[in-house]
Amino acid sequence: MSFDLNRRQLMISAATAAGALALGPARDAFGQARVQITEGNVAPLPIAIPNFVAGTPSDNEVGAGVSQVITNNLKRSGLFAPIDQAAYLEKITNIDVPPQFKSWASINAQALVTGRMTRQGDGRLKAEFRLWDVATGQQLAGQQYFTSPEYWRRIAHIISDQIYERLTGEKGYFDSRVVFIDESGPAERRVKRLALMDQDGANVRYLTRGSDLVLTPRFSPSTQEITYMEFGQGEPRVYLFNVETGQREIVGNFPGMSFAPRFSPDGQKIIMSLQQGGNSNLFVMDLRSKATTRLTDTPAIDTSPSYAPDGSRICFESDRGGKPQIYIMPAGGGQAQRISFGDGSYSTPVWSPRGDYIAFTKQGGGQFAIGIMKPDGSGERILTSGFHNEGPTFAPNGRVLMFFRDPGGNAGPSLFTVDVSGRNELRVPTPGYASDPAWSPLLS
Amino acid sequence: MKIDKTWAASVALHVLVLGWAMLSFSSKAFELEPQDSVAVDTISEDQLAKVMAGMRTGKKENPKPLVEKVAEAKPVDDTVGKISEKAPVVTDTSPPPQPKPKPEEKPVEKKPDPPKPVVKEEPKKEEPKKVEKKPEPSKEPAKEAEKKPEPKVDPIAEALKKEEKKKPPPKPTETAAKPPAPTKPKAERVFDQSKIAALLDKRDPTRNAVAGDVLNSNAALGLSKGKSADNSATWGAMFQSQVERCWKKPYGGIEAQRAEASFVIRLKRDGTLETMPQPDGHPSTPYLRVYQESALRAIIECQPYNLPAQFFDEWKFFAPVFTDRRP
């Protein structure tokens, strides 16, 4: 009896065990077929941006202007293909009712932006917009803003950022400014002025009068301040300039030349090179306490320092190995590690706000190239190359680089943007020749 | 106890062996391997019928003679040449397809005036004669002949695209100038039926040949294995290639982001979506959300899907997976 029982129990347990073993795979066998789709094309997204509806008859102009600025921003990013307004089948007259998605789908729009500009009783301007997914009919984003009427371009940039962010999954960069050196006059007597403009080239403002030579302006990553080098009466000095107030001050009081300044990520410190005899070393100065700390002490030229976005490390250029190369070291000083090993010399390293890349100017073979590499020195890629390209600066989202290009001869330099992938190289409109661009952080 | 041990051992072994067999022999997950699919333009029955049918509005571009005009001059000369190189025969061949019989009849009516009113062909033989031998018949018939050619000229003129009646008279003389020599000797022989037969023979094969070529070009797209059942795995590839055309991937930067978005979709028999695609899982990052939305957009935008109807049971409910995770 006990034997029988044992046997039966064993058999039962064996059967259940076997059944359990079989169940797992069998479940998969009866699931739905899975079809893998791998080959989409990375193509600009077709987007329709009809003129914003005018809340009052006098808002027609600003409505069209906002839509135009957004269109231009998205088009220049290279990730969107705005559809010509002439192709639109539906005229948006009320943004509070859903649009006729079929009419937008029929012109192949995948996204649709509708908006309205209304002058308020108190003189302010109300801007509303909605971003629609044409295929599903879903509203992807919607916002309203109030501003004073002269800042309508800024509103357009902010809306552009919202659209960019929602449709690419990346932070935007349109609501930002660029400080650069405006150059005018003949080649032998160039007048160089510090100038500020929106990232799309609009609203150019001159910050200096051009009596003194200014170089290497840099935006604070967190405040509306600029640091730059100016040749005054004596030695070149590093200056601090507040864009909002127009106040200007010399950074520190050093015996020799100070140059190549750049802000720390929190905007509270400035790192720069100080000349000492034939050498230059890196120093950092706290803007509040004015305390200065030496970071390097080598018989070489160490310059062009740039902080990592987390402030933990810096990258800089040094010729301690013979030719200028890029090195990385802890932000507080210490052991430096060389990361650039290609042919030629590397200079003007700048760390991306995303932290994933370091952009540089590479000189070799009679060419100046703009490139990027990872902070460990791997993945070097050249984005553009030519007679003279220099001074890369990252957009706030780390997706786009701006630099200046000098074609040589009598012509002067001008500004260009290029995607970090090396695509979509575009000239940035400036009133005259321009060099040494530096991108601001997002304004909002 | 001993018995128990052996039993236990054998049962344990059985369990192991059976379990292993069930694991290793069980069918694997039903995952469609990506397959190469041949891009084929699908044609409806109507379109196929049109392709197969002869074209009345002849294509001049088509090298193969679908139209009678090409067939007139050369082919007729080749085959029937020995028998009847007569110009009249040539003109005969052209009229039947075209609505020229009426002008011919008129000359026939007028031909009784001249001495030889016989078969239709003979009157035509006479025409050239008249042109040549204007002296032989009286001047009046010559004038008549001039008038007669006018109606006869019409068919030629039509062929040459409507020339004025005054112009044709010189042309008939020119055209007639070549044929006349052969016409005289062979005028006596009557080959009506044989000529018609020859003409009919010619036209049919040319048409068949053209149709055959068209058919072959379609037939060449089949698989060499030749089993329609083999296509069962390729509806997935067909869906893939169709939906990929609409899929505009978001730009993920230069670093390949390992994004993946899967859906469950239900299709109707006509290839349109029965319901909105159900995304599988909630995206954890903005980029993944954008990635999933781009895939959803593609699925919706690319419908209706053209998939083989006989496998409807397989593709009415399945799971497309949009992925950048390459093995």
Pick from B7, B238, B254, B325 the residue to mutate for testing the A interface (most A CBs within 10 Å): B254
Q: What is the mean pLDDT of chain A?
A: 86
Instruction: Indicate yes or no: CB of B15 within 8 angstroms of CB of A169.
Output: no
Nearest 10 degrees: Cα torsion A195, A197, A202, A206: -30
Answer yes or no: is pLDDT of A328 > 80. yes
Q: Report the SS3 class of residue B227.
A: coil
What is the pLDDT, as a whole number, of residue B117? 45
- The sign of the dihedral angle between the CA atoms of B57, B61, B65, B71 is positive
A426-430 average pLDDT score: 92
Is residue A219 within 8 A of residue A353, CB to CB? The reply is no
What is the pLDDT, as a whole number, of residue A19? 45
A380-384 average pLDDT score: 91
Confidence of residue B200 (pLDDT cuts 50, 70, 90): low
Residues of A in contact with B286 (CB under 8 A): 165, 169-170
Tokens of A183: 């150059």
Alpha carbon distance A179, A130 (integer Å): 32
B244-271 average pLDDT score: 80
Residues of A in contact with B322 (CB under 8 A): 37-38, 40
Residues of B in contact with A399 (CB under 8 A): 253
Amino acid type, B33: E
Answer yes or no: is pLDDT of B130 > 50. no
Give the A:B interface size as CB pairs under 8 Å. 165
What is the pLDDT, as a whole number, of residue A33? 79
Using left for φ > 0, alpha for ψ between -120 and 50, and beta otherwise, residue A273 falls in beta
Instruction: Indicate yes or no: CB of B320 within 8 angstroms of CB of A34.
Output: yes
Instruction: Indicate yes or no: CB of B250 within 8 angstroms of CB of A167.
Output: yes
Q: Which of B4, B255, B318 sits opposite A33 (nearest CB)?
A: B318
Pick from B14, B267, B293 the residue to mutate for testing the A interface (most A CBs within 10 Å): B293
20-49 in A: which are within 8 Å (CB) of B? 21-22, 25-26, 28-46
- A197-206, B213-222, B296-305: which has the minimum mean pLDDT? B213-222
Residues of B in contact with A106 (CB under 8 A): none
- Does the CB of B295 have a partner CB in chain A at under 8 Å? yes
The larger pLDDT score, comparing residue B219 to residue A350, is at: A350
A212-233 average pLDDT score: 84
Answer yes or no: is pLDDT of B172 > 80. no
Alpha carbon distance A357, A376 (integer Å): 9
B110-121 average pLDDT score: 46
Q: Which of B19, B29, B239 sits opposite A35 (nearest CB)?
A: B239
Which positions ≥6 away from B305 have C-beta within 8 Å?
B238, B239, B242, B243, B267, B271, B272, B315
| HSE (side-chain half, CA atoms, 13 Å) at B41 | 5
B243-255 average pLDDT score: 76
B247-260 average pLDDT score: 72
What is the pLDDT, as a whole number, of residue A173? 93
What is the pLDDT, as a whole number, of residue A407? 86
Q: Which of A21, A31, A45 sits opposite B23 (nearest CB)?
A: A21
Residue A373: what are its φ and ψ, rounded to 5°? Answer: -145, 160
Tokens of A187: 């080649």
Confidence of residue A305 (pLDDT cuts 50, 70, 90): very high
A78-99 average pLDDT score: 89
- A136-145, B95-104, B258-267, B317-326: which has the minimum mean pLDDT? B95-104
The pLDDT tens digits of the residues spanning A1-26 come to 444 445 555 455 544 444 444 443 33
A74-78 average pLDDT score: 90
Pick from A16, A36, A80, A162 the residue to mutate for testing the B interface (most B CBs within 10 Å): A36
What is the pLDDT, as a whole number, of residue B150? 46
Confidence of residue B34 (pLDDT cuts 50, 70, 90): low
A236-244 average pLDDT score: 86
Tokens of B45: 């029955």
105-134 in B: which are within 8 Å (CB) of A? none
Instruction: Indicate yes or no: CB of A40 within 8 angstroms of CB of B249.
Output: yes
Q: Report the SS3 class of residue B262.
A: strand
What is the pLDDT, as a whole number, of residue A259? 84
Q: How far is A20 from chain B (nearest CA, A)?
A: 9
Instruction: Indicate yes or no: CB of A169 within 8 angstroms of CB of B291.
Output: yes
Is residue B300 within 8 A of residue A135, CB to CB? The reply is yes
Residue tagged 């002490």 (tokens): A297
What is the pLDDT, as a whole number, of residue A322? 87
Answer yes or no: is pLDDT of B157 > 50. yes
Answer yes or no: is pLDDT of A314 > 60. yes
A111-133 average pLDDT score: 91
Q: Which of B22, B23, B297 sits opposite A110 (nearest CB)?
A: B297
**C-alpha separations of B260 from A288, B29, B36, B75, B327 in Å:** 49, 19, 22, 65, 13
B46-61 average pLDDT score: 67
The pLDDT tens digits of the residues spanning B263-316 come to 988 888 888 888 888 888 888 888 888 888 888 888 988 888 888 888 888 888
Is residue B246 within 8 A of residue A135, CB to CB? The reply is no
The larger pLDDT score, comparing residue A235 to residue B115, is at: A235
Residue tagged 């950074």 (tokens): A251
**Which residue from A401, A402, A339, A408 is spatially nearest to A367, judged by alpha carbons?**
A408
Percentage of chain A modeled with pLDDT above 70: 93
Which H, E and C letters describe chain A, residue by residue?
Answer: CHHHHHHHHHHHHHHHHHHHHHHHHHHHHCCCCEEEECCCECCCEEEECCCCEECCHHHHHHHHHHHHHHHHHHHHHCCEEECCHHHCCCCCCCCCCCCCHHHHHCCCCCEEEEEEEEECCCCCEEEEEEEEECCCCEEEEEEEEEECHHHHHHHHHHHHHHHHHHHHCCCCCCCCEEEEEEEECCHHHCEEEEEEEECCCCCCEECCCCCCEEEEEEECCCCCEEEEEEECCCCEEEEEEECCCCCEEECCCCCCCEEEEEECCCCCEEEEEEEECCEEEEEEEECCCCCEEECCCCCCEEEEEEECCCCCEEEEEECCCCCCEEEEEECCCCCCEECCCCCCEEEEEEECCCCCCEEEEEEECCEEEEEEECCCCCCCEEEEEECCEEEEEECCCCCEEEEEECCCCCCCCEEEEEECCCCCCEECCCCCEEEEEEECCCCC
Confidence of residue A416 (pLDDT cuts 50, 70, 90): very high
A139-166 average pLDDT score: 92
- A30-39, A191-200, A413-422, B119-128: which has the minimum mean pLDDT? B119-128
Confidence of residue B167 (pLDDT cuts 50, 70, 90): very low
- Does the CB of A123 have a partner CB in chain B at under 8 Å? no
Answer yes or no: is pLDDT of B28 > 70. no
Answer yes or no: is pLDDT of A39 > 60. yes
Answer yes or no: is pLDDT of A318 > 60. yes
Answer yes or no: is pLDDT of A49 > 90. yes
Is residue A81 within 8 A of residue A116, CB to CB? The reply is no
Q: Report the SS3 class of residue B97.
A: coil
Answer yes or no: is pLDDT of B108 > 80. no
Q: Report the SS3 class of residue B12.
A: helix
ipTM: 0.76
Chain B residue nearest residue A399, CA to CA: B253
Residues of B in contact with A14 (CB under 8 A): 11-12, 14-15, 18
Chain B residue nearest residue A34, CA to CA: B319
What is the pLDDT, as a whole number, of residue B138? 45
The larger pLDDT score, comparing residue A53 to residue B57, is at: A53
- Name A146's bridge partners: A126
3-42 in B: which are within 8 Å (CB) of A? 3-4, 7-8, 11-12, 14-15, 18-19, 22-23, 26-32, 34
Q: What is the mean pLDDT of chain B?
A: 63
164-183 in A: which are within 8 Å (CB) of B? 165-170
What is the pLDDT, as a whole number, of residue B306? 86
